Amino acid sequence: MSARVGFIGLGKMGQPMASNLARKGFPLLVFDVDSAAIARLVEAGARPASGAGDVGAHSDIVITMLPDSASVEQVILGDTGVLEHLAPGSLIMDMSTVDPLLTDRLAAAARDRGCVFVDAPVGRLASHAERGESLFMVGAADFAFARVKPLLDAMGTTIHHCGEAGAGIRTKLVNNYLAIVSCAFNAEALALSQRFGLSLEKTLAVIHGTTATNGQLKIAWASKVLKGDIEPGFTIDLAHKDLNLIVEAARAGGVPVPIAEVARRSFSAAREEGFGGKDFSAMVDALCDRAHITRPRLTND
């Protein structure tokens, strides 16, 4: 008999991931504070739940994909939350990007109730999730990883078992540190190039031929801001949230991260200027607007 799967959080990432599970035949119970989001999953073959506790009471595996640490804590540990209603032996897999110390508390709380906890934050974008091409960074005991792997296979193409519970979210923060800070210094470098009056195409050709290049600039920016598309794959608001998590986690671990702190101020400024809902590659537009510099754009091929 297939495990009963519950999914809580049907937002920009959760919706396509849950839809992939439903399409691939997993018995799925879903909940979100947005009733329209639930209705869309019901059309895809899922069953609606009345709340997080209902999902916990009627699922063997509960997946959460929520916007922040406070939401995850309330949904899992609240009086009407998942863990209060979950049967011993059940499993919770949180896929949100949260404070790793919260992940540790959730793992301990699950263990105290005879349940299992897995953290499996998501790499890549909503467009990848829609195609079932997500990347997952998983923190789990070996037996728990084996238990959730069929679900991860149904939602993504790349799965990294990073270690025990808590290793997944910590890997995600390291990855996002590099991705987000790359956007901050790429913005400054290209703004400087624009101020110097240099050819954007020639400047990029030089950068991409040396160790100065990076994946954000070479791959992501080339298809987003440098082509004039700043509609979000990953927003400046979310990048700022993750920088907060990174700085606080580093502080808790006694690791100085002055570059992250400066980048956080840069992202804060972009949010204050109205760019929060735009793609995080739009950091260069925010900076250029502030300095009255022409926004960098590649000419058509």
Per-residue b/e over 63-82, b at no fewer than 16 CB within 10 Å?
A: bbbbbbbebbbebbbeeebb
Out of 12, 24, 149, 172, the active site residue is: 172
CA dihedral 93, 107, 242, 160 (to 10 degrees): -50
CA torsion sign, 188 to 194 to 196 to 198? positive
Q: Let me know how long the chain is.
A: 301
Residue 45 CB burial class (10 angstroms; 0-12, 13-18, ≥19): middle
Structure tokens given for 68: 């922040």
Structure tokens given for 143: 């037996």
24 is catalytic: no
Contact 13, 7 (CB under 8 A): no
- Please identify every residue annotated as catalytic: 172
